[in-house]
Structure 1
Amino acid sequence: MSELKCLPQDAVIWGLDILANSVARLPSYGIERPIVFTAEPLVPLYESHIRPGLDQPRGLITDLPAHVPDFAVNAALDVALNAGARSIVALGGGSVLDAAKGVSHFHEQRTGQYLPIAAFPTTLSGSEFSHYFGVTETTGAQKFKRGYAVRATTPRVVVIDPVLVEGTPRPLLLSSAIKGLDHAVEGMRRVERDHPHAILAASGVERFLSILERWPSGLDSAAALAAGKITHGDLLQLQLAAWQCYFYPASVIYGLSHRIGHILGGTYGLPHSVTSCITLGPVIRACADFYGDKLTVFAPGKDRAIAAGVLADRIEAVVRTLELPNKIGAFDLPASELAAVAALLEMNYPDEVADLGANASEKLADLLRSIW
């Protein structure tokens, strides 16, 4: 029996120069008296393109660190409660979206009501389409990024416009695209090749890679646009690729690449978007037997025996060409910590580690050494 689980998302609005019209429509989706979550560098974008059309905004929160530490979520929740906010507008990437979902969830724990979210994503990871979020617990002996899956926190409306991503710093924008690819690939863990996720994710992966493979070197998006190296249409295609790669998150589940990233990020502080640049290709190879023929959807015309390698090669080539980090050793994490990383993975994510097959513990240790 196959099953498709849908999330309570009312609308996705996309196109060129649609922000003003979309913001004006937010009240029809229950986005009234919103508290705004964003990052400090995005405040000018908020003031110019979103603030003018908002219905009675109740304040602006920018103190939202990466990996969503619990103290930041608690502080934002207090602000939202004191301001009498009835909804959240989230302008930013995965950390901003995770913080918004976390506050909505804990607002319900406190008051019995979720705060509906409108998402204006400025990266390409696709968090705006899911009900998953992580909050890093900081009070224990060791920090740990706790994952949640709360359907009611799914952003009620998502707005996609190239203006939202044209100012995103190059490393963040492009590494978040690799995170988007990670959603597509690992989404295949629990579905078959005829599942809607597989069909759409295959389109999203090809859309991503075909644009990233010709991306100009050394230029942020704004400079590349000014030089005519890319177009706003290219940016929109990347945004749509992120959506296709993560179209049915209620029907799929994260795999080992994501879980390694959660430990490297939440516990050791590596940038969240960068972790998939390091882990995705090697994990595809290491888990090829587990995926079987499923990865042929991403390598048309290739048989099962080589599909994983073809896909991993292509992703790793893009990571190198875009000059994104591809080793843990590029960050302040000594190799002596790899055993602790492995222990956290085996303790918290045994199913994902089991994707490695027989002798999974040994293979995990080898995998971590290979990406250090």
Structure 2
Amino acid sequence: MDIRPALESDLPELLALESQSFHSDRISRRSFRRWLRHHDRVFLLAVDQGQALGYALVTLRRGTRLARLYSLAVAPQSRGRGVAGALLKAVEQGARDAGALYLRLEVASDNQPAINLYRKLGYQQFGCYEDYYEDHGSALRMEKCIRPYAPGGDSRTLPWLAQTTAFTCGPAALMMAMAGLPGGYRPSPEDEIQLWREATTVFMTSGHGGCHPLGLALAAHRRGFASEAWINIEGPLFLEGVRDENKKRVMRIAHRQFVEQCAAARIPVRHADIDQGQLTERFQAGANILILISTYRLDNMKAPHWVVLSGFDESCLYVHDPDLGDTHPRQAADAQRSALDCQHLPIARDSFNAMSRFGSSRLRAVVIVEAGPGTAPTPAPAT
């Protein structure tokens, strides 16, 4: 048995393997062709004397240290020969060589042979998707650290939520942060839109306005939480992405109102950089933290985007990303993500420094949310 990279000329064999292995949720010819040409993946084929035995496809999340086993298939007549295990070990090495720290996967909850294989190779279950497949079957969520790092500081319960529009990453991130603190806050679609209405900058580039850090801090304060904002520049934000002078005028007014309202509410606003040490210290002390990033390293879009810190270790910071990709019309179906791809994303610390600055102004913005008066924060254990 030889394991080699899959080639475009292997497309007929890949389609045959797919047809023999799966009754539903099959990868289409178009999707196979796309993945064969894609850069952010590890795609391997097992062959024996010219006959295709099986394939494994792993996708890599740009800008992060996370990989995902997208599909693994072995021809029925080749099962029992160790093909699946050999392919899995090979794609793990490929993902490791690409810099990934973790490999995640979904497997049908009734596919006991596959579950046994994954457990034998060191994968651990950390969740379950109900009604995941076309036949309404559920899927177990499994993960393996493929590099010898032990994540820490993320043992608190921090829920993950998806944004429901292309412009509500800020509200979704804030709902995660508030729901992960004492106080009994319950997220809802209605509050997602209400939070956006309270925190929006009104305009941003050519689309709907995004959320201002001071607006998010105010929204948390109104819901009974203690909040604090760190912004490394003074003055109105995001103006560089807007050409229309009247829009800029409105954004300056909105910024001035946010500043005045924060002062009236006695919300601390610090015009300084906050470093990774300070972020992790506040996280360990019980705060949940929203961080503004540029999506350039994730999708080449250079858009401002809010995420939530979910943990850290010596090599990475981990974040919950509310963006599944399906709210963006230009996002190809094959590039859309599962919830598994968006939780506890491992981002290397050196990459994080660059990712957490936006635009030519090098804007860095953080909103820290803590339990309000009368509630006791629950600190994460020291690492």
TM-score grouping bracket, smaller chain normalisation: under 0.3
TM-score (norm: length of structure 2): 0.27
- The structure with more helix, counted as a fraction of residues: 1
TM-score (norm: length of structure 1): 0.27
Larger Rg: 2
- The structure with more strand, counted as a fraction of residues: 2
